[in-house]
Structure formats: C-alpha cells, structure tokens
Amino acid sequence: MTETFFLSIMVTGFVVAFAHAAIPTHWLPFVLAGRGQRWSKAKTLMVVALCGSGHVLFTTLLGALVVWLGIETSKWTGNVFPWIAGSALILFGLYYIVRQMRGGGHGHHHFGGSHSHGTHDHGSHDHGGHDHASETKRIDTGHGVLLLEVFEDGVPPRFRVRSAVASALPRAAALTIETLRPGGARQIFSFADRDGFLESLEEIPEPHEFTARIGLSHGDHAHHHEVFFEEHQHTAAPRPTAIGGKAAIIKTDGAVIASLFTLLTFSPCEGFLPVYLSGISYGWMGFVLLSAVLAVATVAGMVVFTWLTMSGMERLRLEFLERYESGILGALILFLGVGIIFFGF
C-alpha cells in the first residue's frame, strides 16, 4: 500500500508540474523572444530548457526546506505527524477550491499573433524608418465582443478599446492591460472613457511586439484574455554583418536570456510544495524521486507548448485549464491530504 500510494504521489506531482508549465507565462515569453531575436527553433527550445531548469532548481530548493522541516518535526510528533501534514494539505486543498468557487482562480486566455479575428488597418506610420500596420484584435469576453488596437495615427501610440455592440463597452475602471515583452519586461495600462471608446492613459513604448493580457473585472472576480501583437515591417531592417554588429547581437541575446532565466527562476512552482509535503514520510529518497518528476514534467511541458506555438498551433485551447486551475490544484492537494491520513502510515 505504501509503494502504491507513493506512486500516486508521483503521478499527482507530474500532473501538477505539467499543468503549471502549461500556463502561458511559462512559454509565451520564449516564443516572443525567439521571434524578436530571430532565433532558430532549436535555439529557442534550448533557451526554454535552460530557463526551465532554473525554475526547477529554485522550486527544488524550497522543497528541500519543506522536507527538512517536516523530517525534523516528525521526530517529536511521531505518529501524529501524518495527521498534521494531511490536515494541512486538506486545508490547502479546500482553500484553492473555495477560491475557484469564488471566481478568483480562473482566467481566459486567447492566443493572438496570427490569431487575429479582426481586421488589419494598414495605415502607414513612420517609426525610425519602419512602417507599421495597426492590428485590431477581436476579443469575445463572454459579456460582449471588444475590439482592441494600438492607435497611433498622428498621435503617440496608445491602446484603444471599442465594442462591436456599443452597449457592451466595459467601465474604464474595470479594464486593465498588462504587456509582457520578449525580455520579460512588464507594463500595466489603465484606461479612461473617451467618445465611444476607452483609451489607455499610458503611451505604448516601441517596439510594438508583446503579449497583451487583458483583465476585465466582473463583481468579485476577473476574466483574462491574452493576444499577441507583432511588429509588421514593410521595409526590413538590414542585419548587421560587421564584427561589431555581430557582437552587439550576441550581447543582446545574452541580456534577453538572462532576463528570461531570472523571470522563471524566481517564480517557483508553488503548487508542487504540497506534493513535497505529502512525500515527507518517504525521506530524502522520496524527495529525490519527486524532484526528478518535477524536472521532467516542468521542462517537458515548457518545451512542448513552446514548440507547438512555434510550429503554428497558435490556437491552443487551454481555457479549461486556465479557468479551473485553482479547482484542479485544490482537488489534487485534497486527494494527497486524505491519502496521507488514511493510507500513508
């Protein structure tokens, strides 16, 4: 029974880690960075694996702390420890489930780039010698259809949001947009009411290549949607061929990789820590096996979703996972807690 239960812990851990790796913030930045830096597919996937390893390492270090504290605590709690650990996991699981029921644990993600349902306004604007096409993204919020664009016709570039149905335009205070650029830089935009549309208060820096995460508040919860914006250049910029130009590109690549590594490393897979807690009774050998599961599931998930997106599958439908992430995680943690109390002795 003990070996069977540990196997169930490993399977649960794999599901938790792989699902966590499927969250867009764990692979979208690499897709954008690869496009922006003109990396080959192989190089992009190598960078994904490298940064995923940092993500795993930091989570493993936190897991080692959890296991060490658990082992030390179990020395004086004795047979009571499984009940303490199991009860803690059950409470964690219930917390995530309640958060899901309250609408705080879901989001909706729609992936853009070439995944644009709207029209393209090919008005020409001069930005350092490049002509840009303004894209209009069509977003079905479930409460209406919004049209999002980067407007820069004779004015500094800002986001503008219109509604396909005038009455469905949200309140300005209920709308935010967060941009995520290839190097990991983020910026949040707030909005103001204009004549028939909403406009961002902040200007959009160049270049206009990023993922835009749209947040819409509804009562005590929020819906989220994601779209790609890409630079559309009618006159391609020449690639540096001199030695100095090549060195500059290498330096830029290094900075981008360092930013991505830092972004992923210091955002650990917190959902895996309860998995480590559930395996404390199996000692350090259990910790090593669970860490291997974490590494394989995380890196594999990040590489797979990056590869699928780069291969043209930009309409990945992960809404179910995104929407019910907290509920799924809560159910898995609850399962582990019940297992520890009734089957983990």
pLDDT in tens, 39-59: 888 999 999 999 999 999 999
- Residue 15 CB-density burial (10 A; 0-12 exposed, 13-18 middle, 19+ buried): middle
Question: Please, what is the Cα angle at 57 between 56 and 62, to 5 degrees?
Answer: 95
- Of 76-80, 157-161, 319-323, the range with the lowest mean pLDDT is 319-323
Statement: residue 81 has pLDDT above 70: no
Residue-level pLDDT at 298: 94
Statement: residue 240 has pLDDT above 60: no
CB atoms inside a 10 Å sphere around CB 156:
10
* pLDDT classification of 1: cutoffs 50, 70, 90: very low
Residue-level pLDDT at 159: 93
3-state secondary structure 224-287: EEEEEECCCCCCCCCCCCCHHHHHHHHHHHHHHHHHHHHHHHCCCCHHHHHHHHHCHHHHHHHH
**Residue ranges of domains in the chain:** 2-107+246-343, 120-229
Where is pLDDT greater, at 273 or 292?
292
Domain 120-229 has CATH 2.60.40: yes
**Alpha carbons 295 and 283: distance in angstroms, whole number:** 19
Residue-level pLDDT at 55: 92
For 299-342, write each residue's pLDDT tens digit: 999 999 888 887 765 445 555 566 666 777 778 778 877 777 77
- Secondary element (H or E) of residue 187: strand 186-189
Residue-level pLDDT at 111: 40
Residue-level pLDDT at 288: 95
Residue-level pLDDT at 76: 74
